[in-house]
Chain A
């Protein structure tokens, strides 16, 4: 399989890890109506920033984020990219910690968090040590194994939906400054990882960019389904009461002929495998960025160090409330990373690029 295919599949998988978990809760929380507009806004923003990002990355084939920003001097790069490193690290911690909590909620109520986290951090570590190539290969395989299950559970959910719950279609006009909308942008932050892969993958290829845009197109219905399945099953007034609306929606599916009673298990195991992919990418990115900009030691050692630190931080988060607090605290970092970093790369591309600009 060619590199451009495997990066496309990884791109897809990484998004899936974020769509079905915290995102529906955030979007449903914004208001009791008009979810379509909030989803579309977030999606369009991601598309826009992705375009800026591409245009910058394409100007410097063979160089990754750190090398591109380094043109402004090592200290500028260190300062400008520090929030991004920190954001990646926090995403890594929060993603794993919140999913560990979800595992205890759904099927391992008595298992201690530290044991679940050990597995959740250990497997990605293994992949991260072997580098990007191993992660991409792994994600292709996982995708083929897991995607059918995800699609199956999505389709079965329609058993209980009532289309009338789509209405009313009005929009809450101040949605863009609501906390939950900004938190929900988490699901649109996954594209940032492309910046670190550009040392190995050439984004000046028009075909690859087109493939990634098409992947975004394929993701749009999933963004909608993640929100609208719980909404159409429970109605907005009830869906807003669930901390994991999609999970509760899956719990209602009743299939007599299926060998499992709760289809939720499928969903959880599949999202966990996407989490493994994203975690290993985050781990690898943090380690690589640290090695290239801050501490010049081997990435392998840094991977271990990052994982141990993340493990320690995750274990010391005691409850769900604190996870939510941290995700909210994370918001400025997230906005900086999603908004500013692509623009920065775009500007570097214009000012320092060798005249090679993307042709659309």
Chain B
């Protein structure tokens, strides 16, 4: 009998626990936005926040907008008007307008990192044109359930090295770090797909300072080892597909200025060729090497002009720096930096057609 009493008491206690779900909100009473857009109203100095919320049942989506002095206030206003609760946990893309990017994105990054409402691994991108309009763009380009556009930034789906891929935590890191800067993709409203890539925005600390093309972005991604096979480079006599890339850096001091000797080892295969009968491997190799080296030189001149250390050279150079040198890297040492960039191309094969007869 005593055992039964004990069991009864234990079970009743468990029942009590059932009543106390503090945070529970049924799934059908939640809105789960996927994309968040942030724009700046320069006259009123307020943020315009927009959300794109997919509706899995109909395959379409809702959008919501609000304007306020801070992000949380804007979201609060949206929550006030919305019938259902808004849960930002699944937002995986934050779109920032070009105006805001030029003014500085530290506020939004800090909000993401501090509030934990959004994931710190959310992807950031800069939008040319009106963010709110892009987010509430109703024109349905393809028959798909409204979440596909995010696969553009998914390395195991539609991402290619022509797209800069930067997460909020990286932005936060590079704003605080004196030895690194970031690149964010610039997108525009697409004609056939939802987004169209325009290139990438160069940042110095939290401000957008310049622009690089998508070809240069590819080089930037290769330099960081972010690579998936299938990039096509067109030289004078052939189209080559890069299938493997590997970067090695050597650091040294030369007369008070830092020097990085950087070697990029590439493996490529031939996809198309102008010459019908005979292919010369050495020519193909040299053409691709020169193409990439020249592109790198232009990229490096550009980032040096803008003081934007997107190649994270300061981090590469860390082993030869003291703490005080790390602190002054951005202003004193980076402008003096010399990069000796070499590519070594290996043409692995020429596809299913022989090199010569």
Chain A residues within 8 Å of B, Cβ to Cβ: 32-33, 105-106, 108-112, 115, 162, 164-168, 170, 233-235, 237-238, 241, 248, 251-254, 256-257, 261-262
Q: Smallest distance from the beta carbon of A255 to chain B beta carbons, Å?
A: 10
- B88 → A minimal CB distance (Å): 12
B79 interface residue (CB < 8 Å to A): no
| A168-B322 in contact (CB<8A) | yes
Contact B169 A234 (CB under 8 A): yes
Q: Is the interface of B mostly helix, strand, loop or mixed?
A: loop
| A238 x B176 contact (CB < 8 A) | yes
Q: Out of A106, A110, A257, A261, which one reaches B119, CB within 8 Å?
A: A261
- Distance (whole angstroms) from the CB of B296 to the closest CB of chain A: 20
For the complex, is B20 an interface residue (Cβ under 8 Å from A)? Answer: yes
Q: Is the interface of A mostly helix, strand, loop or mixed?
A: loop
| Nearest CB of B to A33, in Å | 6
Complex: how many Å from CA A235 to CA B178?
10
Residues of B within 8 A of A (CB): 20, 22-23, 89-90, 113, 116, 119-121, 154-156, 167, 169, 172-173, 176-180, 312, 315-316, 318-319, 321-323, 326
A256 neighbours in B (Cβ, 8 Å): 154-156
User: In the complex, what residue of chain B is closest to A252 when comparing beta carbons?
Assistant: B169
B66 to chain A, nearest CB (A): 22
A167 touches B176 (CB 8 A): no
Q: How far is the CA of A241 from the CA of B179 in the complex (A)?
A: 17
Cα distance A335–B167 in the bound complex, in angstroms: 42
Bound CA span A241–B318, Å: 20
Set of chain A residues within 8 Å of B316, measured between Cβ atoms = 164
Inside 8 A of B154's CB, which chain A residues have their CB? 256
User: What is the distance, in angstroms, from A127's C-beta to the closest C-beta of chain B?
Assistant: 17
Closest CB in chain A relative to B334 CB, distance in Å: 15
Task: Tell me which of B120, B156, B167, B316 has the highest count of chain A C-beta atoms within 10 A of its own C-beta.
Answer: B120
**A110 lies within 8 A of B120 (CB):** no
Contacts of B179 in A (CB 8 A): 235
Contact of A238 among B89, B119, B172, B326 (CB under 8 A): B172
Task: Give the shortest distance, in Å, between A60 (CB) and chain B (any CB).
Answer: 40
Q: A111-B23, A167-B319 are in contact. List 17 more A-B contacts (CB 8 A).
A: A106-B116, A110-B22, A112-B22, A162-B312, A164-B316, A165-B315, A168-B318, A168-B321, A234-B169, A234-B173, A235-B177, A248-B169, A251-B120, A251-B169, A252-B167, A261-B90, A262-B119
